[in-house]
Amino acid sequence: MIDLAAWHAEPLPEGEAQIRLDQIRTATTWDDRLEVLRLRIMLGLPFEMQRDVLWNEASSDMQRAAVELITGQIMLARRLQGAWIWLDTAQQRLAHHLPGTGYLELLRRHATLRGLRLFDTPKPIRPLTELLTIARMTAQLEGRQRKTFTLDARDTLG
């Protein structure tokens, strides 16, 4: 089983995802099938049917969370709308299954990444470090724009 506290959406070098997908296309083990799903989403190939089959065949909440987490993380790395539906569901599922430090790491990462703007069309996949930087900068800029100033009636100069 994969590490459910880890980030699984790091971009692969040009062509490597397709080569790996070709090598394990007829996967039979759970982890290999999950890897096929991950690679298909990364490559922008149709993946919904495979995701649904894997999710329905999952024998535990941990396996369902793995499908949700991988789907959401790669959608987020491509800055696609709908990523948080998958990630929030996985996060709820993992609340009682991940060790405390792993769950806190997941919560912190998700809290920071919520600053990302998501779009209807996929963007090029970005490494986690870049996504975190973009999210922090976006949150900081939006915070400055939303700052409200309270007017004091005693202020005759402002």
What tens digit of pLDDT does each residue of 27-78 get? Answer: 889 999 999 999 999 999 999 998 999 999 999 999 999 999 999 999 999 9
When the pLDDT of each residue in the chain is averaged and rounded to a whole number, the result is 89
pLDDT tens, 106-116? 999 999 999 99
Overall pTM > 0.75? yes
Domain boundaries, the chain: 16-145
CA distances to 1, 25, 28, 42, 155 from 123, rounded to whole Å, are: 29, 25, 31, 11, 48
Whole-number percent of the chain with pLDDT over 70: 91
Torsions phi, psi for 80 (to 5 deg):
-95, 140
Query: What is d(CA 118, CA 76) in angstroms, rounded to the nearest whole number?
Result: 8
Work out the average pLDDT over 126-134.
97
How confident is the model at residue 32, as a pLDDT? 92
